[in-house]
Amino acid sequence: MTVMAHDKYTKENPYLTKLLENYCLNNEGSSKDTRHFSICLDSSGIEYLPGDALYVCPENEDGLIMKLLGLLELSKDKESEFNRFKTSVNITRASNKLYKLIAAKTNDKYDAKALAERFNGFSIPNLLKELKSEEPSLVITSDELVENSSMLLGRAYSIASALSSHPGEVHLCIARVDEEINGQKILGVCSNYLSERVDLNTETVRVYVHNNDKFRLPENPETPIIMVGPGTGIAPFRAFIEERNFLRDQGKKVGQDWLFFGDQKQEFDYLYANELKSYQDKYNLKVSTAFSRDQEHKIYVQNKMQENTAEIFKLLEQGAYFYVCGDARRMAKDVDQALKDIVKEHGKDPEAYIKELKDSKRYCRDVY
Ligand SMILES: Cc1cc2nc3c(=O)[nH]c(=O)nc-3n(C[C@H](O)[C@H](O)[C@H](O)COP(=O)(O)OP(=O)(O)OC[C@H]3O[C@@H](n4cnc5c(N)ncnc54)[C@H](O)[C@@H]3O)c2cc1C
Ligand SMILES: NC(=O)c1ccc[n+]([C@@H]2O[C@H](COP(=O)([O-])OP(=O)(O)OC[C@H]3O[C@@H](n4cnc5c(N)ncnc54)[C@H](OP(=O)(O)O)[C@@H]3O)[C@@H](O)[C@H]2O)c1
């Protein structure tokens, strides 16, 4: 059996490569920092399809590792310790196992559950610093910390490019996580690693492809597609649109592409606006936008769907595929409800209709 390159490079054996591009997609004045990344696949032989995801294996920030090493009793020499904390251990968030270890080491002066609540938002170095100031006799070795922490895992990202348009490259669209919990600044490990700590054109990034056969373009390109992707949810749809435009350039007959995109403000947060505008002119791409914070009341992608119920239903009846990507917690649920409402409005049983769409793989979701 032939081993494909994307099977060769895995979680255990990621491909070591270079970051080619890293720029912000939001305009100055935005409250968000959403980045476009281009990663080199040059000689790897790695191939991917629109709909696939790329895993990026992050590294911890040097300053945070040094802070941690200063708070532990080291089991190995400092360089070895530094290296293992750089790539293998999640040091930005304590596990329940670590809280239990601390409770045991302090003869239950602390309760593990209460610790977890109190230190929600804390990185492990900040947690240990605080506890050691209260309980100077608390000693944790680096081996104990490794054994009682979660591993630093690769993060999945929906691929935002089609290989046909960008041979030898893979593109990502990533929201940099910068938030505050419990008074602590949370800088997401992987989104900040790629955004802030990787130099361009140096072989340092470790990646592997994840096939996602549940999120594919229709086999027949003449089939219309409806894509709902607010925020970073636009990522796989950039790949879909590029792939279908490539087919159009080859003279193939391709059905309607309709994108529902939303974000906070049109002036600052219209991701890939210029590209999308050029595709609207050149390839008849249809784009419906919902900028939630450009007016007093919120307008979301599902509100734009509600303004277009007849047309959406007509396309579904013609065999259109319906795709959703982005926030799972709120958006995907509301969009699902909006879709059901459209079906109901047109006299069909929503549960049965949606089941049929799902069974025929025409309702595909990539939500996180
Ligand atoms: C299939 C799939 C596709 C995806 N595609 C995309 C994409 O295209 N673009 C994109 O931007 N993202 C995408 N994601 C999300 C992505 O995988 C990451 O989850 C995201 O980038 C955050 O990772 P991070 O390492 O930067 O943040 P992390 O360090 O993992 O932090 C994530 C969250 O964990 C919480 N947290 C972290 N530390 C603490 C702490 N000490 N205490 C309490 N809470 C804490 C915070 O809520 C924080 O926001 C996708 C996910 C999946 C599963
Ligand atoms: N920490 C931060 O600063 C920060 C900021 C943004 C996103 N995030 C997180 O980062 C991840 C990626 O964010 P993202 O850039 O992809 O954008 P996102 O947060 O998913 O937002 C994209 C758009 O969706 C809107 N939205 C919110 N609730 C919705 C709903 N129920 N239905 C439909 N649309 C809805 C948002 O509006 P409103 O936001 O105006 O309600 C915004 O206009 C998310 O998990 C998000 O929670 C963090």
Residue-range domains of the chain with CATH: 5-46+158-177+184-210 (2.40.30.10), 62-147 (no CATH), 225-367 (3.40.50.80)
CB 221 within 8 A of CB 43: no
Q: Tell me which residue has its CA closest to atom 21 in ligand 2.
A: 231
Q: pTM score > 0.75 for this model?
A: yes
Q: Which residues pair with 37 in a beta bridge?
A: 22, 172
Is residue 193 within 6 Å of ligand 1 at its C-beta? no
Nearest ligand 2 atom to alpha carbon 233: 16
Cα(156) to centroid(ligand 1), Å = 9
Cα(87) to centroid(ligand 1), Å = 17
Query: What would the mean pLDDT of 266-294 be, rounded to a whole number?
Result: 98
Query: What would the mean pLDDT of 168-186 be, rounded to a whole number?
Result: 98
Is residue 224 within 6 Å of ligand 2 at its C-beta? no
Closest C-alpha among 254, 212, 253 to residue 235: 212
Kindly write down the DSSP assignment for every residue of 87-110, as one continuous string: HTB--SS--HHHHHHHHHHTTTSS
What is the pLDDT at residue 2? 46
Does pLDDT of 3 surpass 80? no
Cα(226) to centroid(ligand 1), Å = 26
For a pLDDT cut of 90, what percent of the chain falls above it? 97
Cα(291) to centroid(ligand 2), Å = 11
Residue 344: how many CB atoms within 10 A of its CB? 13
CA 198 → CA 38, 70, 73, distances in Å?
12, 25, 30
Is residue 235 within 6 Å of ligand 1 at its C-beta? yes
Closest ligand by atom to 300 CA:
2
Q: What tokens does 61 get? A: 């920030």
Mutate to test the pocket of ligand 1, among 174, 210, 213 (most ligand atoms within 8 A of CB): 174
Q: Which residues contact residue 185 at a Cβ distance below 8 angstroms, ignoring those fewer than 6 apart?
A: 178, 179
Is residue 181 within 6 Å of ligand 1 at its C-beta? yes
Q: State the residue for tokens 């049965």.
A: 352
Cα(85)–Cα(192) distance, integer angstroms: 17
Is residue 188 within 6 Å of ligand 1 at its C-beta? yes
Cα(109)–Cα(83) distance, integer angstroms: 33
Query: What would the mean pLDDT of 269-275 be, rounded to a whole number?
Result: 98
3-state class (DSSP) for residue 322 = strand
pLDDT in tens, 32-67: 999 999 999 998 999 999 999 999 999 999 999 999
Cα(124)–Cα(144) distance, integer angstroms: 13
Kindly write down the DSSP assignment for every residue of 108-135, as one continuous string: TSS-HHHHHHHTTT--HHHHHHHHHHH-
